[in-house]
Chain A
Amino acid sequence: MNKKQRMFIRMVVASLIRRRSRMIVALLAIVVGATILSGLGMIYYDVPRQMSAQFRSYGANIIFTPSGDGYVSEEDLDQGVSIFKKEELEGFTPYRYENSNIHNLPVTLAGTDFDSVMKTSPYWHISGRLPMGDGETLVGAKAAEKLGLDIGDSVSAQNSFMITEDTDLTKIPDYEIYTDPETGEKYCDHLLEMQVTGILETGGPEEEYIYTTFHDISSLTLSERGYDIVEVSVAAMQDRLKDYIKTINSNVSGISSKLVKRVTASESTVLTKLESLVFIVTLVVLALTMICVATTMTAVIAERRREIGLRKALGALNSSIIAEFMSEGLLLGGVGGIIGAVLGYFFADVVSMNVFSSSITFRPLLIPITIAASVLVTGLACLIPIRSAVDVDPALVLKGE
């Protein structure tokens, strides 16, 4: 580095350090701008992920059904859910439906896993509590009304089947046998005693069912089998969900998976609009920030008109003055960009915690983008006042006119 370059750096550094108060004002404007840019950028890129997670309160967005006439087996289910990324899979709940009678009225029993059901159906409103094991039941509001059931009541589900040579009655704890007088065939009325722990309200068809554990439903029907349907909740965008469905349908033979359109379509619409909104807000804020930075830099340059006049009187060419002042501006832009990029992450995290109640995902790519944008905006903001300032007549400026 020759003496001229060293002097150049010395002047730029001296200007930044010894004009601290002025530079802090300019730096502050740039930092605020860069922070907002970086923060909104992170929010913009994180909105789909955050909103996907939020939309899970609408319930499952993928359904597994048997691909043929059978049921979804445990092996197929394991294979199917293993295809989803762990961090995207919010939960899955299998269901097995059986017809039964309660108080001589036909009802549909739904066996399920009460440990996972709230992950796929977080909108369920339960008066009382979920069953904690066998012998307990959750009754849909409409079924409860039809059967006159309330929390704490005992209910006896009845399953009638014909006794054949293969029937092993020793497995049935509670039953009654009767003979059809016309055919002479013997029937077994198997009873399952359960206690109602909660009433389910959803406003949907779920209110028609009586929910039990898989073990209870197997006991009642004396049969073990797979599932009729599996609800899966995945925090991902529609395109990604479609990819998953394609993979599952081609790799897992026993499962036919499909999107829950009423959920995914509305998610997609809302998300597109929200993304557009955040994008427009980001652009507007960026424009306002640019104006703010430009105004500050214009004021900072304008108050140095006399210095520019002096430099010209000392023999500085316009190009030389532009280079010196631009270097100061770009250095400020770079430093402001670095600080703003870091602060922007914390700003986005605070916003995310308040709006979505979860942390923001750090996007390293936004750091160089923020710094580059900050340098560019500051450079542009400096260029206009510098270009007009170098046209000053040094004689007039030095005379104080």
Chain B
Amino acid sequence: MSLLELKDVSKVYGELHALDKANLTVEKGEWIAIMGPSGSGKSTMMNIIGCMDRPTSGQVIFDGRDISKESRKKLTEFHRDKIGLVFQQFHLINYLNAVENVMVAQYYHSMPDEKEALEALERVGLKDRARHLPSQLSGGEQQRVCIARALINSPQLILADEPTGNLDEANENIVLDIFKQLHKEGTSLVVVTHDPEVGEVAQRIVRLEHGKIVSDKKNENFTE
């Protein structure tokens, strides 16, 4: 059974078809890059996959469950349990330190555990920065805290929106190395990006244009 299936998913805003009958399957443990220019529907697809929005038509089946018609509350509970989010702008809470930011995700999911949160930070190489506030961390470090936060509840899918968009090359490589490691460990990844370098490291590349999937190919250059 696939982890995620989009079947003829459309999202219409008035006259605008942000997503037009998109079909996509994500297998467990797969690493997919969704690419396309601005306005191609990447963000809309990400919001629908991330359960932050509902399609106008079509079906979204996650782990065998059709979530396309679920209420907002059910969707919130669902994505809290199944999906870890990584944002381009990190979105850390500025008055909480690194470990507390990770614990916030635990707090809304189940039970906060500082030890586990520190282990998640260690996994992204930030254990020694655990007590620092976001303002005391570099962009790369903030993104790694964001990844640790996404990982803390052991989600079935990591959904990353332009995860390296605000990073320099060195930090971009660190983040991509973490994604590689996660993929090796069997974590499913969907990375939305317009950066070819980030797309090139994924196992499969899906291209969007004007709300339609125009190509869905395995990456021949993918290396484990």
Q: Which A residues contact B (CB, under 8 angstroms)? A: 2-4, 6-8, 10-11, 14-15, 18-19, 306-307, 310-317, 320, 393-395, 398-400
Please give the distance in Å from B70's CB to the nearest CB on chain A: 14
Q: Which of A2, A10, A19, A399 contacts B100 (CB 8 A)?
A: A10
Closest partner residue, chain B, to A20 (CB atom): B95
Rounded to whole angstroms, the CA-CA distance of A355 and B219 in the bound complex is 85
Q: Which residues of B contact A (CB under 8 A)?
A: 43, 47, 50, 52-53, 73, 76-77, 79-81, 85, 87, 89, 91, 93, 95-96, 100, 103-109, 111-113, 133, 149
CB distance from B136 to the nearest CB of A (A): 12
Chain B residues with CB below 8 A from A15, complex form: 95
Cα–Cα, bound, A317→B189 (Å): 25
Asked whether A399 and B43 contact (CB < 8 A) given A4-B112, A310-B93, A314-B80, the answer is yes
Contacts beyond the supplied A11-B96, A317-B76, A320-B108: 14 A-B pairs with Cβ under 8 Å: A4-B107, A6-B112, A10-B100, A14-B95, A14-B96, A18-B96, A307-B93, A310-B93, A314-B105, A315-B79, A315-B108, A315-B109, A316-B76, A398-B89
* Cα–Cα distance between A145 and B121 once the two chains are bound (Å): 103
In the bound complex, residues from chain B placing their C-beta under 8 Å from that of A10 are 100
Inside 8 A of B107's CB, which chain A residues have their CB? Answer: 4, 7-8, 11
Contacts of A14 in B (CB 8 A): 95-96, 100
Looking at chain B's contact residues, the main secondary structure is helix
Complex Cα distance A243/B93, Å? 66
How would you classify the secondary structure of chain A's contact residues: helix, strand, loop or mixed?
helix
B111:A4 contact, CB within 8 angstroms: yes
How many Å lie between the Cα of A11 and that of B112 in the bound state? 12
Most buried by B among A8, A15, A18, A19: A18
Q: Is the CB of B52 within 8 A of A395?
A: yes
B190 to chain A, nearest CB (A): 15
Instruction: Give the chain B neighbours of A310 by CB distance below 8 A.
Output: 91, 93
Return chain A residues, CB-CB under 8 Å to B109: 315
Q: List 18 A-B contacts (CB under 8 A).
A: A4-B107, A7-B112, A8-B107, A11-B100, A11-B104, A14-B95, A14-B100, A18-B133, A312-B76, A313-B91, A314-B80, A314-B85, A314-B104, A315-B76, A393-B52, A395-B43, A395-B47, A398-B89
